[in-house]
Amino acid sequence: MSEYDVEGVVRSVIVEAMGLAPEKYTEDLSFSADLGLDSLDLLDVFFRIECCVPLIITVERCGRYLQGEVPDAEFCDENGVISRRGLERLHVVMPQLDPEIWAGRLTLDRMLDRLTVGNLVAMVEHMLGKGRPVHA
């Protein structure tokens, strides 16, 4: 069990890094659409979190968390379109993604665009062993 207030750490990092008014912060904010972050900005957010908790967040580790036990060959096709099985796994860790809506449409390069602050909090808690319940 982690002794870190992961939600508080992520909140302060997002508010500080984005210059966001604290009252505008919610866990439903998406990194891309709501906060305008690109992949480099997300790496900066990861780095800032790493400075607050004993954790190294790499893109690979993020991918392993998101992909879970689904093998690469079953997660997406050769064009990077995430499979039904991949979408079902993503729905577990990113409950806002409806597999019915995204079937045949969500690609690997757009997957992180759908990541929310709440998803990041859950991922960091999982990586620290705190284990926020995963949505089913």
Give the C-alpha separation, 72 to 77, whole Å. Answer: 9
> pLDDT tens, 12-32?
999 999 899 999 999 999 998
> How confident is residue 131, by pLDDT bands cut at 50, 70 and 90?
low
Give the C-alpha separation, 109 to 89, whole Å. Answer: 17
To the nearest whole percent, how much of the chain has pLDDT over 90? 72
Structure confidence at residue 109 (pLDDT): 86
pTM for the predicted model, two decimal places = 0.87
Give the C-alpha separation, 110 to 87, whole Å. Answer: 13
> pLDDT tens, 43-63?
999 999 999 999 999 888 999
